[in-house]
Structure 1
Amino acid sequence: MADVLYPPKPSPGDRVAVISPSSGLPGLFPLPYELGLKRLREEYGLEPVEYPATRTMGSTPQQRADDLHAAFADPAVKAVFASVGGDDQITVVPLLDREVIRAHPKPFFGMSDNTNLLAFLRETGIVGFHGASVMVELGRPGAMHPQTADSLRAALFTPGPYELRPAERWRDVDRDWADPATFDAEPETRPGTGWTWLNAHRVVEGRTWGGCLEIVGWMLMAGRGLARDLSEYDGGVLFLETSEELPGAEEVFRTLRNMGERGLLARFSALLMGRPKTWSFGRPLAPEEGAAHAAEQRAAVTRAMRAYAPEALVVFDVDLGHTDPQLVIPYGGLVRVDGPARCITVTY
């Protein structure tokens, strides 16, 4: 595949699409959604434009594909934001018209189940942006995390390099979106612990591929999101993270093992592994239990990488994906991982 294109960036005052390519949760939880729209307007100077399925739970894959086509084809819309994730975007991707989207390249922001669309855009030749969904990051109670806000601002408006920095404070515990009191104050945070580096004697610069590990596994099972010629990923930067479903260490290892057996892991020269989510409403782990879950995941990833890509540079607990703060990662864009300097620089 030829080098992918960084789409033109919006400017303050522009219109941006807000769509729900996965789940119509804005219709069930309007509080974080409306807060996210307000911040797009007031903090970023952008005018959000909704589409028919944006607030519709149970919309069909075709309705969501229609919204995507309309958002990309509208010349007045300069960027596209996903409202939130979900679990069935894999049924939407086959309905997308690659030529329509290729003819109207725009920055797309989303994560989690939106890994499907980000991989589709990369295959289409367009850099997307992993992160900054409207309901989660923009709709954060109290205020956006400053690091999230700054990363999004740079990804939106400023082309060129941007250095990622470990969070000084972070949080894992979520609060009820249906309760208005949730939005009265910022969530509690805990001190940051920095990033952990393996094989940090080298510098790697390459284009990214990856996303939410569970969704990556689904895509590979469905034969989606991956170039036919795996040499496309030679020397690249793999980035992965896990969701609020809290997959166990053995599941994480098996997914990576299967990627290794396919010959995929060895293609990448570096892996950025996001800080794992260690709390959910279904599994509200105590801090010590969450720390054990994270440690077991790091051990599982290390085990797989040593088996299939022993020379790869690996960085653990990077502030990407299902964590807060969340740093935006260019999907298909350039990332430089400097082991000796302990520095990660993305190109927005």
Structure 2
Amino acid sequence: MTGRDPERLPARSPSLIKPRRLHAGDRVAAVTLSWGGPGQFPQRYLAGKRQLEEEFGVELVEMDHTLADADWLHRHPEARAEDLMAAFADASVKGIISTIGGDDSIRILPYLDLRVIHDNPKVLMGFSDTTITHLACLKAGLTTFYGPAIMAGFAENGGLFPYMVDSVRRTLFELDPVGEVTPNTGGWTAELLTWAVPENQNKRRSLNQSEGWKWLQGTGRHRGPLIGGCFEVFDWLRGTEYWPDAAWWDGALLFLETSEEAPPPSLLGYTLRVYGAMGLLQRLGAILLARPGGEVAPADFCKYDQVLLEVVSDELGLTNLPVVAGMDLGHTDPVFVLPYGTMAEVDCDQRRFSIVESAVTE
């Protein structure tokens, strides 16, 4: 067994509704789906709001509980779900952006109405624990966007990263196919500057040299829909009704990124081994792995690559399956935006990654 054919074009996937693109002047809702970060660090939230509005010309509006006390929000997942449903149902709101991640947005699932999401398609973006909401929207039939949140991304210390700004604009605001996504060359960071010190907001984080992406294996071109998310959160939904249906895995480009908690390489290997036992990895068109999040020394990044190849290539014999690592998404900055269910292409011979269609409509 060697994996997918080198020229596998195109894959077919379940159809999704694409939301309308964003425009300057649009009202965009800030929703707190998990941890109540805006209530705990309001100055950080306001910095993200200001930088988002100034760069893209949108109006960011809060829902009833966006700024609520973090402890209260933890006790009331139904209030977080109410905000999300209200944002989808409000025709004056053209987009939704998660304020921040966390670890318990899975608790909002019983309170979601997927029909409301399906009947009111609009841009929704976030990352990390927002993976839960992305997969709920996938089940509802809506394309959503794995990308920056208000407090982590748009509130970047000292100003926004141009690499991220360009990706958000191309993906959410423009009708043309997103096109080729190139590696960030301007340096990356995972430095943690505490939000409890307001003065840190104007202090730029230190950057590491960008080393480019690593094309670990694979030949030819492979095209398929994008699915995935934060590695730990994505797997929390395994066995639930929100886990992607089998049809989504056929030819898919699976993107995974690890959180700031820095799960060890062994956990990545154990989980991928389970996906192999389920017959899922054998159906994929490619695996896209982000640069590890959290306090992981760059010298140890290769350990994640090694365990991935051990499972995919050595154990499962998927030697033709494209595997790209060190990508600019997730819990290091800056990031590019990935639209769920949208067709993308990995060209192993040219070492190019492209999103080959528009993720939005007029």
TM-score by length of 2: 0.90
Contact kept in structure 2, 1:87 and 1:113, CA below 8 Å: yes
CA separation of 1:92 and 1:143: change in aligned 2, threshold 3 A:
same
1:267 to 283, 288, 298: 283
Distance, in Å, in 2 between the alignment partners of 1:130 and 1:272 is: 13
State whether structure 2 residue 360 is matched by structure 1 residue 343: no
Matches within 5 A, 1:264-303: 264-279=280-295, 290-303=297-310
Contact 2:26–2:58 at 8 Å: present in 1 too?
Answer: yes
Asked if the contact 1:253/1:300 (under 8 Å) is kept, the reply is yes
Query: Alignment partner for residue 219 of structure 1, among 237, 243, 252?
Result: 237
Distance 2:321 2:209 in 1: 29
Which protein, 1 or 2, shows the higher relative CO under an 8 Å CA cutoff with sep ≥ 6? 2
Is 2:45 aligned against 1:33? yes
- Select which of 200, 203, 211 maps to 1:182: 200
Identity %: 35
Shift of 1:341: 1.3
Which position in structure 2 is the counterpart of 1:310? 319
Query: Matched residues in 2 for 1:293 and 1:54: separation?
Result: 38
Query: Corresponding residue for 2:4?
Result: none
Write the mapping of 1:231-242 to structure 2, written as runs, cut at 5 A. 231-242=247-258
Name the SS for the 1:231 alignment partner.
helix
Q: TM-score, normalised by structure 1?
A: 0.93
Residue 238 of structure 2 aligns to a residue whose secondary structure is: helix
Match of 2:228 in 1: 210
SS at match of 2:271: helix
The DSSP-based 3-state class of the residue aligned with 1:136 is: coil
Opposite residue 64 of structure 2, the aligned amino acid is: P
Q: Distance in 2 between matches of 1:310 and 1:222?
A: 30
Q: Is the 8 A contact 2:117 2:142 kept in 1?
A: no
Structure 1 residue 222 displacement after superposition: 4.0
Moved more, 266-275 or 184-193: 184-193
Unaligned runs of 5+ in 2: 1-12
Query: 1:282 maps to what in 2?
Result: none
**Counterpart of 1:24?**
36
Counterpart position of 2:5: none
Unaligned 5+ segments in structure 1 are 280-284
CA distance in 1: counterparts of 2:351 and 2:195, whole angstroms: 37
Corresponding residue of 2:87: 71
Cα RMSD for the two superposed structures: 1.4
CA offsets 1:148-182 (integer angstroms, 9 cap, x no match): 11111112201222321112111121111111221
**Residue type matched to 1:48 in 2?**
L
- 1:146 pairs with 2:162: yes
User: Are 2:77 and 1:61 equivalent residues in the alignment?
Assistant: yes
Deviation at 1:253, TM superposition (A): 0.5
Q: How big is each residue's C-alpha offset from its partner over 1:68-87, in whole Å with a ceiling of 9 and x where there is no partner? A: 11000000000000000011
2:182 maps to which residue? 165
Match for residue 326 of structure 1 among 335, 349, 354: 335
* Secondary structure at 1:206 match in 2: strand
List per-residue Cα deviations over 1:280-333 (Å, max 9, x = no partner). xxxxx6xxxx12431211111111211234321010001011111111111121
CA contact (8 A) 1:89 1:116 kept: yes
Shift of 1:224: 2.8
Question: Per the alignment, in what secondary structure is the counterpart of residue 56 of structure 2?
Answer: coil
Partners of 2:234 and 2:350 in 1: CA distance: 30
- Once residues 214 and 223 of structure 1 are traced to their aligned partners in structure 2, the CA distance between those partners, rounded to angstroms, is 17
